[in-house]
């Protein structure tokens, strides 16, 4: 088996990515179920989210077991719909800590891509913003800027930010500053975005916040 830098085996790395991605939807289900148990009442608006996150977990498992973890299944979809879908999933988590995501789009932005993989990407990026919230209320602003051949998605937070040294290490596999972190989220995002023919950049200032700039071609050139 191929040995990589730092002694991490290729298969181990894929397995770590898989468990990291599987934990995201399961943690959301757990959060919603916990709230209903605490309140001893069923909130029917949470049920479609739980159902969709269970389905997402099953999909991630079958992708991994069919060795298609990074294989893209392209379809046409509206980027606004996708972003609203991710934001809806995370809404409660944000509300609980009085954090907010601002995303106001009134039109549709169609593109060709793998909806589910990109859902994981935006989920990871918004979760990172959430985890970077400081003392002040977190505000995350999501914007789409349209160019002739591609979209640029900007995700700006007013969280703890990063030093220039930390910023340089962004995207390095297993790089994390969190006690319970894995350092696999951004490297996963980069890989998925790269496979779409796009790119992912970070801008950040310590104590001021972070901006993620993600470009996605409307249609990948082969
Ligand atoms: N929005 C952000 N604000 C500040 N730091 C961030 C942000 N997003 C990512 N980071 C930094 O990048 C590191 C790597 O992120 P990631 O690959 O998602 O792994 P993890 O979240 O498990 O630490 C984080 O530990 C954090 O230091
Ligand atoms: Mg992360």
CATH number of the CATH domain containing 204? 3.30.565.10
One domain for residues 95 and 143: yes
Quick: pLDDT tens for 62-82: 988 888 888 899 999 999 999
One domain for residues 42 and 96: no
Q: pLDDT value at position 14?
A: 83
One domain for residues 20 and 124: no
Tell whether ligand 1 has an atom less than 6 A from the beta carbon of residue 24: no
Q: pLDDT value at position 1?
A: 44
**Which chain residues have CB less than 5 Å from ligand 2, an ion?**
128, 185
Of the candidates 142, 167, 136, 185, the residue with the CA atom closest to the CA atom of residue 21: 185
pTM for the predicted model, two decimal places: 0.90
One domain for residues 125 and 222: yes
Which among 120, 128, 141 is the best mutation to test ligand 1's pocket, defined by most ligand atoms within 8 Å of the CB? 128
One domain for residues 181 and 157: yes
Residues 56/116, Cβ–Cβ less than 8 Å: yes
One domain for residues 65 and 102: no
> What range defines the domain where residue 159 resides?
74-222
Cα of 176 to ligand 1 centre, how many Å?
6
Cα of 102 to ligand 2 centre, how many Å?
20
One domain for residues 220 and 132: yes
pLDDT > 50? residue 95: yes
Residues 142/83, Cβ–Cβ less than 8 Å: yes
Residues 118/82, Cβ–Cβ less than 8 Å: yes
The residue written with tokens 């894995």 in the block is 182
């Amino acid at each position: 088996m191929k040995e990589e830098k730092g002694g991490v085996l290729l298969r181990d790395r894929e397995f770590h990515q898989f468990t990291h991605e599987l934990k995201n939807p399961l943690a959301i289900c757990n959060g919603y179920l916990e709230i209903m148990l605490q309140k001893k009442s069923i909130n029917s608006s949470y049920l479609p989210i739980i159902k969709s996150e269970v389905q997402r977990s099953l999909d991630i498992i079958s992708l991994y077991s069919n060795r298609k973890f990074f294989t893209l299944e392209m379809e046409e979809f509206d980027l606004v719909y996708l972003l609203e879908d991710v934001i809806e999933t995370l809404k409660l988590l944000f509300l609980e800590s009085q954090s907010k995501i601002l995303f106001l789009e009134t039109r549709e932005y169609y593109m060709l891509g793998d909806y589910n993989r990109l859902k994981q990407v935006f989920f990871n990026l918004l979760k990172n913003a959430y985890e970077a919230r400081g003392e002040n209320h977190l505000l995350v602003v999501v914007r789409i800027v349209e160019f002739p051949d591609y979209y640029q998605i900007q995700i700006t937070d007013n969280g703890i930010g990063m030093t220039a040294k930390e910023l340089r290490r962004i995207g390095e596999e297993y790089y994390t500053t969190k006690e319970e972190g894995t350092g696999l989220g951004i490297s996963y995002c980069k890989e998925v975005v790269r496979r779409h023919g796009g790119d992912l950049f970070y801008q950040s200032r310590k104590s001021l916040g972070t901006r993620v700039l993600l470009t996605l071609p409307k249609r990948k050139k082969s």
